[in-house]
Amino acid sequence: MVALVNKIVLSLFMLVTMFVTMQIMDGVESFSFIPRVKLYIQNRLPNLQLSFHCKDKYRDNGFHTLPPGKVYTFGFAVTPFIINRTQWFCLFSWDEESHYFDIYVQIRDSCGICVWTIQNSGPCKVYRSHSDCFSWPIKGEHELQGRKTLLISNTSTQQESPFALKPLHSHGRD
């Protein structure tokens, strides 16, 4: 009898483990308590290839390039319930220009499917009946500007430091 109870408990534990694992895996379609977002980025730059690199605090979506008119998509799970902390930011670059933009901010973007077009003047969030367009943030005013090393950490070229590092408690000694 004890062996049967142990097998039942072990089986339930395995089922719960598989269910939780499927909930946190990207790209797995299943019944979910954790909300997911599918984000689309379309290149609307005239005759220019768009390069971009998107990250959140924990995940790096890598470097990508898009020819004009093409769409790139990726999905992710958002922070469940009322915490509203999920935020994805991207570095977009083309033809000697580069701009940071928070492509997904959970408290701003309440969408399960988010569609963005990237243009010279800025990104536009596309809805069925209209678009909300944003201008590119001024480089010094972007809230993640000081953390841009997150975006350039995977590059092999020499990059400038976003801020000077000073030792803590130096007391005038070098």
pLDDT digits (tens, 9 = 90+) for 2-13: 777 677 867 776
Mean pLDDT, residues 61-77 taken together: 95
Distance, CA of 52 to CA of 60 (rounded, Å): 12
Measuring CA to CA, how many Å separate 136 from each of 88, 100, 120?
A: 16, 7, 9
- The DSSP element (H or E) to which 151 belongs, if any, is helix 149-152
Judged against a pLDDT cut of 50, whether residue 169 lies above it is answered with no
> For a pLDDT cut of 90, what percent of the chain falls above it?
45
Structure tokens at 67: 């020819």
* Architecture, CATH, for domain 34-152: Sandwich (2.60)
Mean pLDDT, residues 128-146 taken together: 76
Per-domain boundaries in the chain:
34-152
